Amino acid sequence: MRIIKLNAIDSTNSFLREMIYNEVVADYTVVVAQHQTHGRGQMGTTWESDKGKNLMFSLFKDLSVHVVEFPFYISMAISLAILKALQGFNIPDLSIKWPNDILSANKKICGILIENVIKDKLNSTIIGVGVNVNQTEFKNLPQASSLKSITGVHYDVDEVLHYIIKHTKAYSKLLQEGKYDVVKNEYESHMFRKNKPSTFRDANGDLFSGFIEGVTKYGKLMVILEDQIVKKYDLKEITLMY
């Protein structure tokens, strides 16, 4: 496994994508940055981080050797890998806020950005991960927290990375073995606010209530509405409120 450590970069995902187009990149190549000037999150959001205090990395996963028919299983697998790794550091009340934010209680401690590389088929994927590790102040981000803020412990960022990669390999092996139901069932068991009355905002900004039932194999959120009607929502169609 190759780990490339950078002091500062615009985005580890962008750096890794450039590598893919210029050279043969080995499976599980990891790019880690002390600081990102243009870190990115879901839906075009930015990822803010104090230099050297958090874990920001991108991982290259070669998928050419096996077929992942439904790309959302990659998102489920990496979400579970990070959750399991953080459980090893005794982080309490961990859950996955659809589609792939990692929470402790109702505070976000990790975000994931997955960019698939398609060459006739899904050929590989770049998994960008940002974990709030030792940063303790988050200006204008009331829902953000960190491992240190939650436990009071100062963590070795490299050790956190090691555990995440270890569990990523384990969940990747499940996908390679075709154990999709195992991954999906475990993902759903850790979903934030599953089977609890929750508030959502639709694309028009309107609020409504429902119960999260689970996800489809395509990654759509299944919500039970009034009269027990189950509706499926894409990422751009719905936001789960904290």
Q: Where are the domains of the chain?
A: 3-189, 197-240
Is-same-fold flag (3-189; 197-240)? no
Q: CB–CB of 219/108 below 8 Å?
A: no
Q: Is 80 exceeded by the pLDDT of residue 43?
A: no
Q: CB–CB of 207/199 below 8 Å?
A: yes
Q: CB–CB of 43/101 below 8 Å?
A: no
List the beta bridge partners of residue 122.
Answer: 118
Q: Is 70 exceeded by the pLDDT of residue 40?
A: no
The topology (CATH level 3) of 3-189 is: BirA Bifunctional Protein; domain 2 (3.30.930)
Q: What is the dihedral of CA 19, 20, 25, 30, to 10 degrees?
A: 60
Structure confidence by residue, pLDDT tens digits, 138-196: 988 889 999 999 999 999 999 999 999 999 999 999 999 999 999 999 999 999 999 99
Structure confidence by residue, pLDDT tens digits, 93-145: 999 999 999 999 999 999 999 998 877 677 899 999 999 999 999 988 889 99
Q: CB–CB of 202/196 below 8 Å?
A: no
Structure tokens at 64: 């050419």
**197-240 — its CATH code?**
2.30.30.100
pTM of the model: 0.93
